[in-house]
């Protein structure tokens, strides 16, 4: 009997899984299962190869970061593409680029790995999806809670601060180019990152940006050339904040988030309640290399499902960024 195209794809995917040990029979005894090499299952190895390559877009960096061979990463990507039934990457000028399907898959794969890591290390971090929209929360070691909820871009014209609307309009007019006349109006409000060695390197901080006005201009001038994880808020908060960066950076798209948390204004200082809306924009440097631009506006107009109003109080007027520009 002839198989349909869908049945044939399922069969080939199942064979690929079995070949890579995901569907191999379990050990004959519980003792053997728990006493074998405690490396993650091949499924998670495949996801790590995929998410790391999606972040770096460089096979050599991926191999170095994971400590595996190039053949292993290629095999993992081919297996995942076989399972998903679609191309996740294209190779252009010896550089990997995510396809639209790859960018969508990245969000789910990263969430799976983040949840697994949080569970293993007893960190109460979770992510929920409403269709393609994401909600993330976590509690740090000091008991401070952080919440982020993605919203449809249409909300920019409903209740977003003017800064974010103007930034989106400038980005569209500039056709993603950082150095474009349309960007001049909002340049002083932006924060720009470059992806480097699986981290986010700060290359520009506007003097009117939320980061500069919250953390101080002295910090802002010193932060250029440093990684985002070195901010006064700490690497754990950076990990929470940057989970959404990768997909936008790789796909060159846009994303709107509402965020609330406890953030210090200086290193080792007492954190204060902060609410803000954040616009992430995939951009391009003049040489064509990808960049990530962030625009943040502190505002009490934040909608996060399940957020207790007393947990993170509203900000006083002097901290808000709701004026027109």
* Chain centre to alpha carbon of residue 188: 24
| All structural domains of the chain | 5-31+38-102 (1.10.10.10), 123-319 (no CATH)
In tens, the pLDDT along 180-201 reads 999 999 999 999 998 876 678 8
Pick the closest to residue 131 from 160, 164, 107 (CA basis).
Answer: 107
What is the model's pTM?
A: 0.66
pLDDT digits (tens, 9 = 90+) for 252-274: 789 999 999 888 887 777 888 99
Cα separation values, 57 from 98, 99, 196, 252, 279, Å: 8, 12, 11, 13, 23
- Between 152 and 226, residue with greater pLDDT: 152
First to last CA, the chain: 67
- The mean-pLDDT minimum among 113-127, 134-148, 192-206, 299-313 falls in 113-127
Q: Which band of pLDDT confidence, cut at 50, 70 and 90, is reported for residue 145? A: confident
**223 pLDDT above the threshold of 60:** yes
DSSP state of 303: -
Segment of 137-151, 175-189, 210-224, 233-247 carrying the highest mean pLDDT:
175-189
Which of 27-36, 71-80, 153-162, 236-245 has the least mean pLDDT? 27-36
Q: What's residue 78's pLDDT?
A: 92
User: Lowest-pLDDT range, 238-242, 251-255, 272-276?
Assistant: 238-242
Q: Is the pLDDT of residue 5 over 70?
A: no
Return mean pLDDT, the chain: 80
The whole-number pLDDT of residue 205 equals 92
Q: Which residue, 134, 137, 231, 245, is CA-closest to 198? A: 245
Tokens in use for 88?
């996740």
Residues 52-106 pLDDT 10s = 898 888 899 899 989 999 999 999 999 999 989 999 999 887 788 888 888 878 8
Angstrom CA distances, 132 to 105, 106, 139, 141, 215, stand at 11, 12, 24, 29, 32
Question: What 3-state DSSP class applies to 114?
Answer: helix
Q: What is the mean pLDDT of residues 39-46?
A: 74
């Amino acid at each position: 009997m002839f198989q349909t195209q869908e049945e044939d794809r399922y069969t080939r995917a199942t064979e690929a899984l079995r070949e890579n040990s995901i569907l191999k029979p379990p050990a004959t005894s519980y003792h053997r299962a728990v006493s074998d090499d405690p490396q993650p299952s091949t499924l998670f190895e495949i996801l790590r190869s995929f998410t790391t390559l999606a972040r770096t877009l460089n096979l050599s960096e991926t191999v170095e970061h994971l400590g595996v061979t190039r053949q292993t990463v290629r095999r993992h990507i081919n297996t995942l593409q076989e399972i998903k039934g679609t191309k996740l990457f294209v190779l252009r000028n010896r550089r990997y680029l995510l396809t639209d399907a790859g960018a969508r898959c990245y969000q789910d794969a990263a969430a799976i790995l983040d949840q697994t890591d949080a569970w293993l290390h007893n960190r109460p971090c979770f992510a929920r999806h409403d269709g393609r929209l994401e909600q993330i929360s976590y509690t740090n070691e000091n008991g401070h809670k952080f919440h982020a909820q993605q919203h449809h871009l249409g909300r920019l014209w409903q209740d977003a601060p003017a800064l974010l609307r103007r930034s989106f309009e400038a980005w569209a007019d500039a056709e993603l180019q950082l150095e474009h006349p349309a960007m001049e109006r909002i340049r002083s409000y932006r924060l720009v990152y470059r992806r480097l060695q699986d981290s986010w390197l700060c290359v520009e901080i506007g003097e009117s940006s939320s980061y500069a006005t919250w953390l101080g201009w002295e910090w802002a001038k010193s932060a250029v050339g440093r990684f985002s994880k070195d901010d006064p808020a700490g690497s754990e908060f950076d990990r929470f904040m940057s989970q959404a960066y990768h997909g936008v950076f790789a796909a060159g798209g846009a994303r709107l988030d509402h965020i609330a948390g406890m953030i210090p204004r200086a290193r080792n200082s007492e954190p204060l309640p902060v609410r803000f809306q954040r616009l992430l924009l995939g951009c391009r440097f003049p040489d064509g290399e990808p960049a990530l631009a962030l625009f943040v506006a502190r505002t009490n107009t934040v909608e996060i499902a399940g957020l207790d109003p007393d947990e993170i109080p509203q900000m006083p007027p002097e901290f808000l960024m709701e004026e027109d520009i």
